Amino acid sequence: MSAHKKKPVPLAVGRSTAQESSSHGSIQISDDSQSVTLSLVSGASAKVLLYGATVVSWKIQERELLWLSEASALDGSKAVRGGIPLVFPVFGPPPAGTAVEKLAQHGFARTSKWNLLGRVEEETEGDKGVRVDFGLSSDSLDDETKAKWPYEFGLIYSVTLRESTLETKMVVQNPGSAAFEFNVLFHTYLRIPDVSTIGVQGLNSLTYRDKTLGGTEHQESSDVIKIASQTDRVYKSAPDAITVLEDDKPLYTVTKTGLNDVVLWNPYSDGAEKIGDWEPKEGYKNMVCVEAGSVADWQTLEQESTWEGGVTHKAHL
């Protein structure tokens, strides 16, 4: 069956509360107009803040599938610690001598207020879902950020909730007269029962940059990667599907499209102690970041061109 899509339906963000419902599910804007909740008739749900367009909750059968720090700021005062923060246009500390060198770590997408563009009903091979689109452009940035990164751009970020998956997609547009370079990353914090019982499969034989060892490069030799210490690796040219196993059974599958790399991160005990908004400190036992993106090298977007990439997170419950 071919994919069936309806045209975007604008959401009534001018009211203090807005709700759009259909046979697929519903989209509800919070009373303070600062978040959107997607719900399906099956009971699956997702919550997205307009600040950073950050997904802060994804539930199936009332089970929370994303890890969120109990000390994370959710009021727009700083980047959210947990959920799915968006990294653009730079990953990590900006390198000196580059066009992004004046920006904060991980760029401005995760700390900007996004616009709510509308909702869409989708059905693919009988799998019904609801989607919300968010937008951010150079016109949305404050003067200070524009001065640090003076390129014309447009971002469209889509979050689609289905019965067993959460899909996130980014479209980057360059309407300007000059090309620009960028990194992009979906910084997904997956909730897990216990870090000692999980493994990550699909990265064997790949070259990775180990940020805990000064950024040196190594070759992965494990079919199933176990996390027993602080882990911060960028796997280059990764396959499209990565699986998180619990006791050798699939727990999550992370499938990427149009993205080159995968970052595997867990701060472990020593790293969590140094992160001020990480609570509880033992929370590292219940999360693993499997982050799809294009960050090992810069992506170049020519004038009047468009780039897109996305991630599908599937839970095996």
The residues annotated as belonging to the active site are 187, 291
Give dist(CA 108, CA 78) in Å, integer: 11
Of 258, 251, 243, 234, nearest to 202 (Cα)? Answer: 243
